[in-house]
Amino acid sequence: MKPKLTKLPNGIPFVEVPMPGAASVTLFVYCRVGSRYETKEINGASHFIEHLMFKGTKRRPSAEIISRELDRYGAAFNAMTGKDYTCYFVKIDAKRGKDAADILHDMLFHSLFDPKEIDRERGVIVEEINMYEDNPHMHIEDLLERVLFPNSTLSWCIAGPREVIRNVSAEQLVAYRDAYYVPSRIVVAAAGAIRPDLRKKIRESFGRVRAQKPSRDAAFKSFAPAPLKERIAIQEKKTEQTQVGIAFHGFHMAHADEPVAKILATILGGSMSSRLFVNVRERKGLCYAISASHQSLEDTGIFAIYAGLDRRRIPLAIKTIMKELKGVAANGVTPEELRRAKDYLRGKLALALEDTSARADWFGREYLFQGKFESPAQRIAALEAVTAHDVKRVAKAIFRDDRMASAVIGPKASKRTLEQIFRMR
């Protein structure tokens, strides 16, 4: 079914994606704000606010009451903060969709931000930061982005530094929330069995949020790729396995070559039959996990390769990875590889979009960032149009030595040696 767009009285877009036969409905609420909108004094505020939205409202004065009300109906609910957006969702029995809308609206616009809860949550977030930093598989991404996006808020950790989380004031958090949680930055999306009572509740709740002037983006600056001066980050850690990340500047969401980059990533490391998986893991036994991906942001993208490698054979593993990158840029891909990648992406999309959550997320984010919809059929058509020549051309454009960042977490290694290995030339 095609999505239906309605503008609520205050201008908030409401995206409906009916799914005949569905018994559930998923409701997403997006706010166009994330860590790249912050200043150093409040780095981590977007993520902190996401946590605080679950801590109690005037009508539901504690986190326990909010959770109990959703748990009562077996709902799945969560939230996520990214570089450029924050989202909240509830997946629930369609008969209770109006309750999900009421709770999400109550959380986002009537949360108490009780100073005691804020102080308690500081410790929770610090422990979350500790968890990520103690896990090299998770932390490698943060290190890599610091190198890839110098002098940009894109390089900042979404959770923020500990000293900011411990000291940011309730007043700063509330001011930040009030500046960005406004109708002009919000999109509401629902997918599944969408009942009239849900539509009515959306209009009565989100439709009555007071419209305000658009906020001034304090820190947001469009990212312009440039040659990297510092190309590698190394964190010494006593581990059996060494985590490695390699990244290049990619393409933004609306770029004509974004579908090509997706196919390139799939061929290199998107599946268990991809080049990197076969050649680094299966044939040489140098790792357990290795992957490649392309993530698009508003104004740039990240083409990344991550691997957990045998720490005793790091030079061989990295040389093998770099050989594959150089090979696809120099020689391109085979017709069979291209066909397999297209079929893989088509199949993954079809499986994902059977779920109400995936459908709501797909169309909600499409409208949040582009103000229009790309249907799954249009996406598949764009992928099908990619040629082997396109893949080779884009590989050459992305895999540039002067725009390659790398990160390593593991036992002590020579920076000079690693810099010599991490080269496209």
d(CA 38, CA 384) in angstroms, rounded, equals 39
Q: Which two tokens stand for residue 32?
A: 């166009």
Residue entry with tokens 């908030």: 12
Count the neighbouring beta carbons within 10 Å of the beta carbon of residue 212.
Answer: 14
CA angle 162, 48, 362 (to 5 degrees): 125
Q: How far apart are CA 366 and CA 133, in angstroms?
A: 32
The one catalytic residue in 16, 38, 50, 141 is 50
Residue-wise DSSP of 182-215: SGGGEEEEEEES--HHHHHHHHHHGGGSPP-PPP
Compute the distance between CA of residue 390 and CA of residue 388 in angstroms, rounded to an integer: 5
- Find the helix or strand (DSSP H, E) in which 396 lies: helix 388-398
What does the DSSP assignment read for 288-314? EEEEEEEEE-SS-EEEEEEEEEEGGGH
- Residues in the chain, overall count: 425
> What is d(CA 82, CA 127) in angstroms, rounded to the nearest whole number?
19
Identify whether 128 is a catalytic site residue. no
Q: Which residues are catalytic?
A: 50
